[in-house]
Structure 1
Amino acid sequence: MAPSTTPDAPFGRLLTAMVTPMFADGSVDYDGAARLAVHLVDDQRHDGLVINGTTGESPTTTDDEKERVLRAVVEAVGDRASIVFGAGSNDTRHSIELARMAEAAGAHGLLTVCPYYNKPPQEGVYRHMTAIADSTGLPVMLYDIPGRAGIPIETPTLLRLAEHPRITAVKDAKGDLFAASQVMAATDLVFYSGDDVLNLAWLSQGAAGFVSVVGHVVGSDLHEMIDLYRSGDVAGALALHRRMLPVVTAIMTRTQGVIATKAALNLLGLPGGTVRAPLVDAAPEFTARLREDLITGGIKVEATE
């Protein structure tokens, strides 16, 4: 069993889909990745990290860069956090190669996104996911995000995938809480909120925790919200949810998440840096508004000079 996991939360309760820090010239800051991972685990109470997700700019990093970031993070925090590697793509053979590389590099689990752009039928989704799960001994978290993939993992497909011994969880960014409740009632699949705007709502449906983006800056609060809810203090969890609203709004609703997240990390003096094309760095006016939202959400931001 990987660090910080339990049978009802096989990847931990709070994970963040970590950015890939980069220098001004667009090259990857591997030391920065290790430092950011340490900060998230030691200072922001993360049970785990997802490396090479969309927020890690997986569409524009090379396989070599992905592996080097993964190895840097495993070395930095892999003894005390569950490290999940985004091995998904819309090419089954490539995904299998990435999964095997991640296993060799020390990852504790895999995140496999629903194939995007080529929009396979559900039988193709099923075969894609099971082929990846068959390729290593690592547990698999399915990633259901039709807004990016163009197609969902439909409920009958989830029910079939739940029969695979290594497919253990779902990161849900589909937002159909009732459908997820039906899947949870019928299977042993563990659900994680994959959409920060619905984190508290997901807890009410039985989710184990979150795979967050705003966890880069409010990880401790998110973990506390999970703890409060699970202890029966729903009012306390709701109060934290409402306190974080400005931060969630700023990072998740005004631009692409990694753009906002790197801007926030830069404001906080943490490794973030630039984004790669076709993404663009946050404009000054966005960053100024982001600063105010972070302060409103209770985050200490250094004063401007």
Structure 2
Amino acid sequence: MGTLKKIYTTVFITLLFFTVFGSSTKVVGQSKKTYVVVIDPGHGGKDPGKPRGSSAYMHEKELNLRIAKKVGLLMRQYMPNIQVYYTRTSDKYISLEDRVDFAEVAQADYFLSIHSNSNPNKWIVGAKAHVDTDQDQVSVALAKVLLNSIEKKTLIQSRGLMNKQDRGYNLYVLKNTSMPSVLIECGFLSNPYERRYINSEKGQKEIANAIFQGFQSFHQQSDVPQGDNYSIQILATNKKVSNTNPHFQKLLNQGHLIKEHEIIRNNKKIYKYTVGNVPTTETAQSLKLRIRSLGFSDAFVVKMP
């Protein structure tokens, strides 16, 4: 495992060199924190995603990469406090595990996975956004902004947001990343009209610009303190849990105060347990990582009323 970690670290340092010195973006003298965005072009190499079906079109893996690169370029040009990394920059197969590990080594603040969709019914159209769970409120908020931007700025309508309950299964890159993570499906390649649009340079530019503008709007609002308070939810149960419970000892030993919140849902009492009270999403994400490192792998950020 130590060898594998060294490999990821070496790859990350190499990409850091080419990203910083191969880019015209100047960040010297910026007083703001630099935020890291990992953009993940879906599929690649031996995994084409949705096959092109005709020599007139591209495989999904090629379209994902083109759109992802355009999004990253816009971020580098217009958001000087954003550092962009890609899980792949060419037609290479990258495992789901390696994509997640790369984002973790990069200590990403955001993870955006770019895909296109397909369905046996060729008349289904629209963009979808996927998150792991609705309780990850930062990911949900970002996903909604991205979908709204795509619907307003492209020819593609929104088909809405889906979580793991809606899908009936987990998506590995969403379940296993520790930062806010959204998977965007830019439209249906099985639909003749959206396939033609997504395969066009115009369509790719408009989709990339919509994703960029949505992200930029969301990030600018999140980067400014809004007077909100955030905590980390560690547990929800229908039975009270005492602070003396051994499961909580690591948190207590680290000086974390555990708060209990009683709510009524479907005429039944639910007890939620949270840790911390911080003013920004940035500090909340850092706190979430510390809480997860103490054994609470499903901990997530919640906005306090």
Provide TM-score, normalisation by structure 1.
0.25
Q: Considering only CA atoms, is the larger Rg found in Structure 1 or Structure 2? A: 2
Question: Which structure is higher in strand share?
Answer: 2
Question: Which structure is higher in helix share?
Answer: 1
Provide TM-score, normalisation by structure 2.
0.25
